[in-house]
Structure 1
Amino acid sequence: MKLSELLAGQNHHILQGDPEKTYITAGTVFDADRVMPGSLFIAVPGHEEGGPGAVAPALARGAAAVLVEDGCVLPATAGDVCVVRVPDTRSAGAVAASLYHGEPGRRMDMVAITGTNGKTSVSYMVESVLRLSEGARAGVIGTAGSRIGDELIPMPRSVLTTPESPDLQYLLGCMRDRGVGTVVLEATSMGLLTHRVDRTFVDVGVFTNLSQDHLDDHGTMDNYRDAKLRLFQGLCKHAVVNADDPVGALIGPMMPGEVTTYALDTEADYRATDLVVDASGTRFTLHHDGHKYPAAIPAPGRFSVSNALATVAACHTLGHDLSGLVAALERMPQIPGRFERVTTAAGTSVIVDYAHSPDSLNKVLGTIRGFARARVITVFGCGGDRDTTKRAEMGTIAGTHSDLCVVTSDNPRHEDPEAILDQVVPGIEDTGTPYERLADRRSAIAFALAAAGPEDIVLIAGKGSEPHQTVGDQLLPFSDMATVRELADIPVVRRQPALR
């Protein structure tokens, strides 16, 4: 494809070369070490594996052209390679990546989910109910990687929930080419702020909630909120909004298209009442357009019902049959790492959940307390290089709802694990709840399982389905659920294959 076609309609200035005579044949990339002959290298300032300083290595690897921002000094090796300056390489790169892959988002129903909690759960639920109710082929892009049904799409290893725009558009192109009808995307605050979701042509944007998290990235809650709200300022056609969250009220006035609401506690287009919660799940009545639908989900808790409402509202908005969607809710498989449950031979229930913020930990433990018949033992920690203000608060929440806490490492990254625990422990001590301090996560899980008796519940919070632990710059293989199964000698039960 001609470079001129990727720049059409964009503000740009040609520094050298001719975009009309320059052909991009190997895609668009931000990472210099992924450049191939024929690539368009996009020099994003601050990008760890790229940026203006990586122009020379990109050229050495055969980049056909380079996009830069003002102030980038071209190396002597640039020769006559086409170099184009744009006001914002991230924004221009998103457009170029979409055009290169044929704007795949236009060819599928696109659902993007944003919010502090619930993004992964809603994405799994949307895929499940469409598959179970209609045999539909849906793609999912998010925390657990990218997949079509159970088929993973291989990508370079990354910890980004929302991939950078060149990778995201590549994934969308793969899904379009494999006959996917609907794609569900987790849209993080940083993903929205850095233009990764631009030019994906989102049909339905879902807002789940907002609570304290990611202040290390955004500085203030207002900045964090505004990053989330970017999805509803021209990036989606239709909004599905949690009316129980006060931020939801801000979305209507900024949306150019329609807004649909869901709620448990206030009037909304989709509402749930008569909740009955036990260890196996939740039964409720779904109300929509004057009709009532008896419903059930195999996940306990109000937050799970709220996620189910978001799922049904998004899918119904896309035109899928509401009765079929509601019927499919009850048959959904467990979501990996989201209130994922197993029982040991000793009769101990173990729950693995991604809860890693004060609000999510409080909701999960509050739900467990609602049906627990014996002790609750909580294994948790806090991530390194992240918001430090929540650490003592999470200790207080865990101590308040638990009979025993085991505080351990989450993803310490570049921080000393023991220093992180030093900041968590005072919150537990304020509650008077007994605790054990074990920085090694495997040892912490083993201690909790050994301490638990029949009918006790062990919650392992913070990492969910993550297959690794981040220590320094390393991603070390580690799975909470796999560790539980190994220590408790619990066999793996495979999920039923997706319908084709």
Structure 2
Amino acid sequence: MKLSELLAGQDHHTLQGDPEATRITTGMTFDADRVTPGSLFIAIPGHRDGGPGSIGAALARGAVAVLVDAGAPDPALPSEMCAVRVPEIRTAAAVVASRYYGEPGRGMDMVAITGTNGKTSVSYMIESVLRLAGGASVGVIGTAGSRIGDEPIPMPRSVLTTPESPDLQYLLGRMRDGGATGVVLEATSMALLTHRVDRAFIDVGVFTNLTQDHLDDHGTMENYRDAKLRLFKGLCRRAVVNADDPVGAEIQALMPGCVTTYGIDAAAADYRATDVTVDAGGTRFTLHHEGRKYPAAIPVPGRYSVANALATVAACHALGHDLGGLVAALDRMPPVPGRFERFRAPSGTSVIVDYAHSPDSLDQVLTTIRSFAPARVVTVFGCGGDRDTTKRAEMGEIAGTHSDLCVITSDNPRTEDPEAILDQITPGLAATGTPFERFTDRRRAIAFALYEAGPHDIVLIAGKGSEQHQIVGDELLPFSDMATVRELARA
């Protein structure tokens, strides 16, 4: 496709070469190491794998053109490369990528989910319910990777929860060409802030909740909220929002007449749950919508899981699917990997692996477990390195409040000293008086918890969920909480 066609209608200035004569034949990327002959290199200032300083490397790998940002200094440009300057490079990248892949979002039902907690669970639930209720083929893009149904789409490890716009549009194109009738994607706050979801043509934007997290990226809760709200400022046609969260009212004000609400406590919500009953096997409730009642059940314990189910049903119903069929499909959903994922050890100890890594999510999971725990609750958790330090003591206090024994350990320490992270968790935990042990080695921590737990105890391993690696320094080391549990249980 001609570079001039990709840039048509956008403000741009040609630095050298001829966009009309330059054809992009193999896609585009921000990462100089992923450039292939015939591709467009998008030189994002500050990008760890690219940027203006990598233009020469991109040319050596076969890039035929480069986009540069108006705010960046004039780069050193090889004479044989077509170069175009744009006012805001990330905005331009989203348009160019969408056009190159034929604007794939226009041809599918598109759902984007944002919020602090529940994004992955709701995305999996929407895919499962649409498949079970009507046999739909749905693509999923998020924390656990990208797939169409059960078929994964391989991507480099560096690809984010919400991929950069060239990768996102590539995935949408693959899903459209693979027969997907819809796509559900997780829209992180940083993805919305950096225009990754622009030009995805979202039909339904879902807001789950806003609680403390990612302050290392955003600085304040107000900035974090504003990043989430970008989804509802022109990026989606309709919204499904949690009426139990104050931000839900802000979204209603942003999109008058285009918002559907759900909730457990909010009596006026369009989709509401009452008669919530939780046990170890799951949750039962009554769903109310437009004066009708629907008995419902989900195979996951917890009020927060009911909220996720309401969001799922409301989003799918907004796409035009039959409500009765959607509700009937809820109790047949398969478990979401790493979200309240259960295992029973030969000793009888119950183990739950969950992604809970924020104060609110840890509190919700532990409150749910405590509501049906027959004996002690043993909690293994840590906090990620190079991330918000203000939540560490709070998470220690939450774990100690709801547990009989805590084992604090490394999550993804990244470049921080693991012992220093545990030191910051300890004051909140110690204040509760709950006994605890600390091991920077996560495997040792899990082994200790399993050894200490009795046959009727529940061990919660929180923080990493279905992640298959641990980030130590700049290395990705293979590690899975559930695989480790299964291996230790067999020993």
Q: Determine if the TM-score, normalized by the shorter chain, exceeds 0.5.
A: yes
Q: What corresponds to 1:493 in structure 2? A: none
Q: What corresponds to 2:108 in structure 1? A: 108
**Are 1:345 and 2:346 an aligned pair?**
yes
Q: What corresponds to 2:35 in structure 1? A: 35
Relative to structure 2, which stretch is displaced further, 345-354 or 152-161? 152-161
SS at match of 1:455: coil
Q: What corresponds to 1:302 in structure 2? A: 303
SS at match of 2:296: strand
Distance between the aligned counterparts of 1:250 and 1:482, measured in 2? 42
Q: Report the alpha carbon displacement of residue 255 of structure 1 after superposing the two structures with TM.
A: 2.1
Q: What corresponds to 1:289 in structure 2? A: 290
Distance between the aligned counterparts of 1:254 and 1:284, measured in 2? 31
The answer (yes or no) to whether the contact 1:126–1:184 under 8 Å persists in 2 is yes
Distance between the aligned counterparts of 2:179 and 2:255, measured in 1? 30
- Gap regions ≥5 residues in structure 1: 491-500
Distance between the aligned counterparts of 1:139 and 1:375, measured in 2? 40
Distance between the aligned counterparts of 1:213 and 1:206, measured in 2? 18
Q: What corresponds to 1:247 in structure 2? A: 247
Render the CA deviation track for 1:342-372: whole Å, top value 9, x for unaligned: 1111111110000000010001001111111
Render the CA deviation track for 1:71-120: whole Å, top value 9, x for unaligned: 432325x1142111001111101110000000000010000000000000
TM-score by length of 2: 0.98
SS at match of 1:156: coil
The answer (yes or no) to whether the contact 1:239–1:257 under 8 Å persists in 2 is no
SS at match of 2:348: coil
Q: Report the alpha carbon displacement of residue 298 of structure 1 after superposing the two structures with TM.
A: 0.3
Q: Report the alpha carbon displacement of residue 125 of structure 1 after superposing the two structures with TM.
A: 0.2
Distance between the aligned counterparts of 2:187 and 2:14, measured in 1? 33
The answer (yes or no) to whether the contact 1:467–1:477 under 8 Å persists in 2 is yes
> Which residue identity is paired with 2:42?
I
> Which residue identity is paired with 1:384?
G
The answer (yes or no) to whether the contact 2:53–2:75 under 8 Å persists in 1 is no
Distance between the aligned counterparts of 1:306 and 1:364, measured in 2? 13
Q: Report the alpha carbon displacement of residue 8 of structure 1 after superposing the two structures with TM.
A: 1.1
Q: What corresponds to 1:58 in structure 2? A: 58
SS at match of 2:19: coil
Q: Report the alpha carbon displacement of residue 158 of structure 1 after superposing the two structures with TM.
A: 2.2
Q: Report the alpha carbon displacement of residue 478 of structure 1 after superposing the two structures with TM.
A: 0.4
* Equivalent runs, 1:412-423 vs 2, <5 Å: 412-423=413-424
* Equivalent runs, 1:66-465 vs 2, <5 Å: 66-70=66-70, 71-75=72-76, 78-158=78-158, 160-255=160-255, 258-266=258-266, 267-465=268-466
Identical counterparts, % of pairs: 78
Distance between the aligned counterparts of 1:255 and 1:168, measured in 2? 25
Distance between the aligned counterparts of 1:83 and 1:434, measured in 2? 62
Distance between the aligned counterparts of 2:206 and 2:91, measured in 1? 22
The answer (yes or no) to whether the contact 1:193–1:227 under 8 Å persists in 2 is yes
- Gap regions ≥5 residues in structure 2: none
The answer (yes or no) to whether the contact 1:237–1:257 under 8 Å persists in 2 is no
Distance between the aligned counterparts of 1:345 and 1:36, measured in 2? 51
Render the CA deviation track for 1:191-225: whole Å, top value 9, x for unaligned: 00000000000000000000000000000000000
Q: Report the alpha carbon displacement of residue 387 of structure 1 after superposing the two structures with TM.
A: 0.3
Q: Report the alpha carbon displacement of residue 454 of structure 1 after superposing the two structures with TM.
A: 1.4
Distance between the aligned counterparts of 2:393 and 2:119, measured in 1? 25
Render the CA deviation track for 1:113-171: whole Å, top value 9, x for unaligned: 00000000000000111111111111100000001111110111126110011110000
Distance between the aligned counterparts of 1:148 and 1:442, measured in 2? 33
**Are 1:20 and 2:17 an aligned pair?**
no
Distance between the aligned counterparts of 1:37 and 1:488, measured in 2? 50
> Which residue identity is paired with 1:139?
G
Q: What corresponds to 1:497 in structure 2? A: none
Q: Report the alpha carbon displacement of residue 467 of structure 1 after superposing the two structures with TM.
A: 0.5
Q: Report the alpha carbon displacement of residue 257 of structure 1 after superposing the two structures with TM.
A: 6.2
The answer (yes or no) to whether the contact 1:237–1:256 under 8 Å persists in 2 is no
For this pair of structures, how many residues does the alignment match?
489
Render the CA deviation track for 1:466-492: whole Å, top value 9, x for unaligned: 0000001111010001111111129xx
SS at match of 1:67: strand
> Which residue identity is paired with 1:301?
G
Q: Report the alpha carbon displacement of residue 314 of structure 1 after superposing the two structures with TM.
A: 0.3
Distance between the aligned counterparts of 1:176 and 1:149, measured in 2? 13
Gap change, CA 1:136 and 1:273, over 3 Å in 2: same
The answer (yes or no) to whether the contact 1:352–1:464 under 8 Å persists in 2 is yes
The answer (yes or no) to whether the contact 1:233–1:256 under 8 Å persists in 2 is no
> Which residue identity is paired with 1:208?
T
Distance between the aligned counterparts of 2:365 and 2:29, measured in 1? 40
The answer (yes or no) to whether the contact 1:234–1:256 under 8 Å persists in 2 is no
TM-score by length of 1: 0.97
Distance between the aligned counterparts of 2:82 and 2:254, measured in 1? 39
> Which residue identity is paired with 1:206?
V
SS at match of 1:53: helix
> Which residue identity is paired with 1:457?
I
> Which residue identity is paired with 1:338?
R
Distance between the aligned counterparts of 1:202 and 1:450, measured in 2? 48
The answer (yes or no) to whether the contact 1:448–1:458 under 8 Å persists in 2 is yes
SS at match of 2:120: helix
Distance between the aligned counterparts of 2:106 and 2:43, measured in 1? 27
Distance between the aligned counterparts of 1:338 and 1:257, measured in 2? 34
Distance between the aligned counterparts of 2:11 and 2:253, measured in 1? 29
Distance between the aligned counterparts of 2:255 and 2:151, measured in 1? 35
SS at match of 1:199: coil
> Which residue identity is paired with 2:314?
A
> Which residue identity is paired with 1:393?
E
Distance between the aligned counterparts of 2:162 and 2:404, measured in 1? 37
> Which residue identity is paired with 2:346?
A
